[in-house]
Structure 1
Amino acid sequence: MISFDEAVDAACLPSHWSWRVEVRPRRRTLGLEVLPDGSIVIAVPQNSQPEEVAEAVRARRMWLARAIRRRAELVAEHPAKELVDGEGFSYLGRHYRLLLVRDQDASVKLKAGWLNLRHDRDVSAVIGWYADRGRRWLTQSVDSWAGRIGVDRPSVTIEDLGTRWGVRNRDGSLTFHWAAMQLPPELLELIVVHELVHLVVARHNEEFTKRVLLALPAAMELESELAKAGRLVWMGRMREPTGQEAAVKA
């Protein structure tokens, strides 16, 4: 008979994940826990069969990927920004520098590799620009993926969702975080597919995982990329100027 470790190896978890199996005689069911450092503890009852453990872990691979990403986001030091010339901002995975301008109609505009902000606008204009772009881009992506997932096209809204990239609402609509528009397109598509599949399968069970992987075979790898990229995304926090900088600006 194979060992528990060999059984989990057979579940085909990503090679960069760190995990360990703990046999706990008092447990009656298998438990999965993601620790603050991102490692996984697989707690199994003493009388479990290794093949059953492997199957249970395999069925919850997508849940584990999301749990690891959530852990990374909770401990992440999201960057703060300042509205000064040269400050860096990302859009669809590409990097732009901020330029304060006086002679443009729109509050915010991408132009020649710069993110132009009208000098009399504040941070809400930048967030609003991400939200407007997100509403158009994500609606098109949702419309494109809905047929492939096998669901009707839901309506899309953009809000600040805290540490969540997207959410399926009770009325069947989807909401996405405006900050997600800083991510590369392939990670945005992962978020879109994830929420669309939730319209069919509410919980992160084996059926959910199968449907996500059917649509996006590289979903688990993309979840890992999202965990890394998510730490670098600006979530609207502004950097407080130092005393000297404040004096100069005054």
Structure 2
Amino acid sequence: MSETIEIDELVFSVKRSTRRRTVGVTVERDKSLVAHLPQGVALDVATRLIASKLLWVHQKLAEHGETARDDVFRIPEFVDGEGFHLLGKHYRLKLVDVPKNVTGVPSVRFEGDRILLRREQAASGGKRIEEYYTRAAHPYLNETVQRWKRIVGVEPGRFVQVMDLGYRWGSCSEDGTLNFHWRTMQLPPRIIEYVVVHELVHIKVPNHSEKFWKMIGSVMPDYESRKAWLKQKGGEL
């Protein structure tokens, strides 16, 4: 029977070699995951080592194309009237013309129920939106983490990291650093709280065992409804 390692819903097929001395991971072109193990290494030991490489794995999965991401996230068009969300509120995109002699106008800004994007940057709209949400996410998520870490009873890394995590909302590194997808800022605040608590609890319980879900339930009794909302509607934002 072939061996596998499962971590955070990622499944690694195991390949052992008598010539190998260290544990390694590869992400294949078809996004399949392979754990390369020395012949005598126990699976639980290998699992802990691979868990420390998960951030790298998620980044590699994102680099291997958009297929997995397209199954989760809506891909917007950068045309007038396209919808975007910020902290759960809905905004309509409006492309605006900025005279060449006018300086200091940001690429992206919110006014009323509109998100304004400079027309000459529409072709790179995805990048501009990502930059805006990333800047906004750092203070917001740091504050949310600081508030909830006392309730969960853990001490994460000093600052959160915001990046493109492919098709994942968040991850927890072995050193307690919390990583969040920049798209998290599109979610309603109560759903962002669920994503944050989910990763904070991973500091204590690295897997999705019964103990993990019980611990989330002890600090967030309605987590199941938040989890269901994220699964059903998160990708539509």
TM-score class, shorter-chain normalisation, is 0.5 to 0.7
* CA gap 1:213/1:77 in 2 versus in 1, 3 angstroms: closer
Q: Is the 8 A contact 2:87 2:188 kept in 1?
A: yes
1:117-128 alignment runs, 5 A limit: 117-121=117-121, 122-123=124-125, 124-128=127-131
**Which of 82, 85, 93 is the matching residue for 1:90?**
85
1:59-90: per-residue Cα shift (whole Å, max 9, x none)? xxxxxxxxxxxxxx889464322222211111
Q: Does 1:145 align with 2:140?
A: no
Q: Counterpart of 2:113?
A: 113
Q: What secondary structure sits across from 1:120 in the alignment?
A: helix
Alpha-carbon separation, structure 1, partners of 2:161 and 2:209: 26
CA contact (8 A) 2:155 2:176 kept: no
Q: Name the structure, 1 or 2, with higher relative contact order (CA <8 Å, separation 6+).
A: 1
| In 2, Cα distance between equivalents of 1:77 and 1:196 | 23
Counterpart selection for 1:180 from 179, 184, 192: 184
Partner deviation per Cα, 1:181-225 (whole Å, 9 max, x = no partner): 111111110000000011111122232122100111001111111
Question: Separation in 2 of the partners of 1:172 and 1:152?
Answer: 8
Distance 2:228 2:221 in 1: 14
> For 1:90, what is the secondary structure of its paired residue?
strand
1:169 and 1:105 map into 2 onto residues whose CA distance is 37
- Structure 2 counterpart of 1:152, one-letter code: E
**Aligned pairs (5 A) from 1:29-178:** 76=71, 78-101=73-96, 102=98, 105-121=105-121, 122-123=124-125, 124-154=127-157, 155-178=159-182
Per the normalisation by structure 2, the TM-score is 0.63
> Which has the larger Rg?
1
Q: Give me the whole-angstrom Cα distance separating, in 2, the residues matched to 1:76 and 1:195.
A: 22
Q: Contact 1:183–1:229 at 8 Å: present in 2 too?
A: no
Letter in 1 for 2:181: H
CA distance 1:119–1:141, shift in 2 (3 Å): same
- Letter matched to residue 108 of structure 2: V
Which residue of structure 1 aligns with residue 202 of structure 2? 198
Give secondary structure in 2 for the equivalent of 1:164.
Answer: coil
Is the 2:171–2:199 contact (alpha carbons within 8 Å) kept by the matching residues of 1?
Answer: yes
Alpha-carbon RMSD: 2.1
Whole-Å Cα distance in 2 between the matches of residues 125 and 108 of structure 1?
A: 7
Query: How many residue pairs end up in the alignment?
Result: 162
Identity between Structure 1 and Structure 2 (%): 36
Gaps of 5+ in 2: 1-8, 10-67
SS at match of 1:152: coil
Given the superposition, is the C-alpha separation of residues 110 and 165 from structure 1 closer, same or farther in structure 2, using an over 3 Å criterion? same
Query: What do the CA deviations read for 1:8-35 (whole angstroms, capped 9, x no partner)?
Result: xxxxxxxxxxxxxxxxxxxxxxxxxx9x
Distance 1:207 1:77, change over 3 A: closer
Residue 220 of structure 1: aligned partner: 224
Q: Work out whether residues 89 and 97 of structure 1, in 8 Å CA contact, stay in contact via their aligned partners in 2.
A: yes
Shift in CA distance, 153/202, structure 1 to aligned 2, threshold 3 Å: closer
